Amino acid sequence: MPYDDSVPPARRARRPLLVAAALAALCLTAVTGCGGGPDGAETGAASPRPGGDAASPSAAPTPSASPSASASASPSASASEPLPRGPLTGRTVVIDPGHNPRNREHTKEINQQVDIGTGRKECDTTGTSTDAGYAEARFTLDVSHRLRELLRAQGARVVLTQDDDRPFGPCIDERARIGNEAKADAVVSVHADGSAVGNRGFHVILPAAVKGGGADTTKIVRSSADLGARIAGHFVRATGSAPSNYIGGGTGLDTRDDLGGLNLSTVPKVFVECGNMRDPQDAALLTRASWRQKAAQGMADGIADYLKG
């Protein structure tokens, strides 16, 4: 599944979004008919998503290398690396590349249930893929590398929750814990959706107000909504992609109470579903290195806009 934990769309929590106006303002000069037209009309709930990457890694198109050849950052590494001074100096951003390329080899481990505060969910999932076999887990790593370099160039300390440096996971509870322990100013979980053909566009998932067990998002709901709206607006500008035509009512924003990675976060956090890997038109974008760079740029601009206040 394309999220850190799966759930049928009917169980998604939705609430009125005060941030929709902010998104609309950012969209105004970006794409004609942002949130409307053929790719902006509401078409109903998302259809069930494929559970895994059926194609082998060797069948996938080879994505371009990330902009930097430097060693990948781990949850503890980047703090010791020299950073340029810039507008984000002193800020910490955690990037959470969805899934793990090797999750498929560890189905027993990733199917183990973990506590998400309000219940229990699978440790992780394999993610989706394009019909040609380009795995979501490869896509998320590539975009995360690009995003890391853009943020570091502005002086931010960047932490990745994983960098294909472990056999599986991390589990969804650990992904949240990494952001919390880093005392991140913002956390962005990078994903791509696996919905039906014809469902197109990106959306940003925001945490609902959840309180129960070890989950309490009450202090981060407003700040996360602000972060998500700014990312959505800049994503439109940078990529030219319209907000989702099947989730979020044309706003590109969706609020959920069922994702452990959000429920357990104590710092501002959102998920970004960059497009639908199962739609041929979206897949053509997601497999293009130049578009992935634009996607990273849109997220970086939104994060910087949020952090600068």
Catalytic site residue 181?
no
DSSP string, 119-154: SEEES-----B-TT--BHHHHHHHHHHHHHHHHHTT
- CA distances to 20, 30, 306 from 23, rounded to whole Å, are 5, 11, 13
CA 162 to CA 73: how far, in whole Å?
A: 8
Residue 7 gets the label, from left (phi > 0), alpha (psi -120 to 50) or beta, of beta
- CA 87 to mean position of chain CA atoms: 23
DSSP string, 192-261: EE---TT--SBEEEEE---EETTEE-TTTHHHHHHHHHHHHHHHHHHH-PPBPSSSSTTSSEEEES--HH
Q: CB-based contacts of 261: which residues, under 8 Å, 6+ apart?
A: 4, 5, 96, 172, 175, 176, 189, 269, 271
Which of the residues 122, 136, 174, 273 is marked catalytic? Answer: 273
* Burial state string for 138-165 with b = 16 or more CB within 10 A and e = fewer than 16: bbbbbbbbbbbbbbbebebbbbbbbbee
The residues annotated with a catalytic role in the active site are 273
